[in-house]
Amino acid sequence: MTLPLPLLRLPPLLLTGAHVLCDGALQEGCIGLAEGRIDPSALAEVDLSGYLILPGMIDMHAASVAPGGSLDASLAAVDRTAAAQGITTAYLAQGWSWEGGPRGPDQAEALMQALDSYRPQALTDLRLQICAQTHLVDETARLIAAVRRHQIGYVVFEDHVSEGLHMARIAPADFAVWARALGKTTDELTRAIEAAASRSKEVPRSLCTLAEAFDTERALYGSQNDPDGETRAFYAMIGASVAAFPLTRRAALAAHTMMSPVVMAAPDVLRGRGQSGNVSALALVADGLCDVLASRDNMPALALAVWALVDRGVMGLAQAWALVSSRPAEILRLADRGMLEPGLRADMVIIQAETRMIEATIVAGRVSYLAGEAARRFGGQPHALRLAAE
């Protein structure tokens, strides 16, 4: 039995018999929820013996939404996948780039509008993370207006210009793949890179303007794919605190020294090494240089990476799960989630302890995903599930 839709509201319930992650440790006991919040006063019981109840996962860089076709359909597909993977808050990655096409401002604003319309029916708390290319200086004011209008809470800066010029020289086949993904010829992409590079002197002023505006809007901002410590120091200087997917150990160490939280890709933990010779996410986690794991377009990898850390003896479950729950909540300033404490949102994932299969996801007290034996146990209780009154 699997119930991805419609969204189900839970009445006041006491989930008993499970091992619950709270106060930094797994504890055998019970947890109550009512009116979308953790509430120990609930009385009606559902026996979840043999299960783990963990805080819902917060994905700081979830799937990109495929361009073309229906954005609503694409959002629904991402939404259902997130729910089935125990993700309760997902930041969808979208470019804001001189590359244009699927990564351009027009596509970004179309997605912002589509998400605003889709959100009331969403299973997951879906939000946007904008990846802003530093050399798109002509669209600085437009980006600020879009962040304000659509209440975008997270932006990362990245520079594809230097990377593109380097790739064109040493890896023409990869450059051609990049061009095709953007719907361009290699000559068109080369001209776009050269045009962006010609604006390099305007980049610092644009970044400072964006940083000041984001501070006013209380939007979190950082940088992505920092190649070295100097780059991370530059972004930190303008207030871009988050270091997302640093490419080298030096960049991650610089971020750690400057108290900039480091986000690494969960799939890299599973591989045990970084892509294309980049620093290993597993090594950074082991050395205490990684604060958050994000799925980076592979949402099933998020929970799997946590179990990989546990099985390899890198850290215990409570510490590893914090990388996908309490730590991202803290960094993103989401004070109402990330832990299972009275008064916080009832965001949780229910996992069969023996198989480690995710069998239920609850978002603000509403069931976004329900399957397997957990579905039978919820369904076997009188009035345990009822359709949300919309």
What SS3 state is found at 123? Answer: coil
Query: Are both 77 and 129 inside the same structural domain?
Result: yes
Q: Would the pLDDT of 386 be above 90? A: no
| pLDDT at residue 287, as a whole number | 96
Global pTM reads: 0.93
Burial grade of 11 (CB within 10 A; 0-12, 13-18, 19 or more):
middle
Provide the number of structural domains found in the chain.
2
For residue 91, tell me if it sits in a domain: yes
How far apart are the C-alpha atoms of 88 and 1, rounded to whole Å? Answer: 20
DSSP H/E element including 311: helix 300-311
Residue 251 sits in a domain of what CATH number? 3.20.20.140
Q: Kindly state whether residues 31 and 176 are assigned to the same domain.
A: no
Residues 318 and 277 in one domain: yes
pLDDT of 274 = 67
| Closest C-alpha to 384, from 46, 90, 77 | 46
In 3D space, the residue among 76, 86, 70, 57 whose CA is nearest the CA of residue 122 turns out to be: 76
- Is the pLDDT at 4 greater than 80, yes or no? no
C-beta of residue 53 within 8 angstroms of C-beta of residue 20: yes
| pLDDT above 90 as % of the chain | 83
Is the same domain home to 46 and 64? no
Are residues 18 and 64 located together in one domain of the fold? no
Residues 30 and 77 in one domain: no
The total of other beta-carbon atoms located within 10 Å of residue 82's CB is 30
Query: Pick from 331, 352, 372: which residue ends a domain?
Result: 331
Domain residue limits at 358: 8-54+339-387
Structural domain contains residue 73: yes
Instruction: Give the residue among 107, 139, 131 at the shortest CA–CA distance from 203.
Output: 139
**Quick one: 345 and 258 in the same domain?**
no
Residues in the chain: 390
Q: pLDDT per residue over 114-124, tens digit each?
A: 999 999 999 99
Residues 151 and 242 placed together within one structural domain of the fold: yes
Q: Within a domain: residue 78?
A: yes
Give per-residue pLDDT as tens, 311-352: 999 999 999 999 999 999 999 999 999 999 999 999 999 999
Domain boundary among 311, 331, 351: 331
How far is it, in rounded angstroms, from Cα 338 to Cα 302? Answer: 15
Per cent of the chain over pLDDT 70 is 94
In this prediction, residue 220 carries a pLDDT of: 98
Here the CATH number for the domain that contains residue 361 is 2.30.40.10
Tell which wins on pLDDT, 164 or 85.
Answer: 85
3 within domain boundaries: no
Residue 324 lies in a domain: yes
Same domain, 346 and 270: no
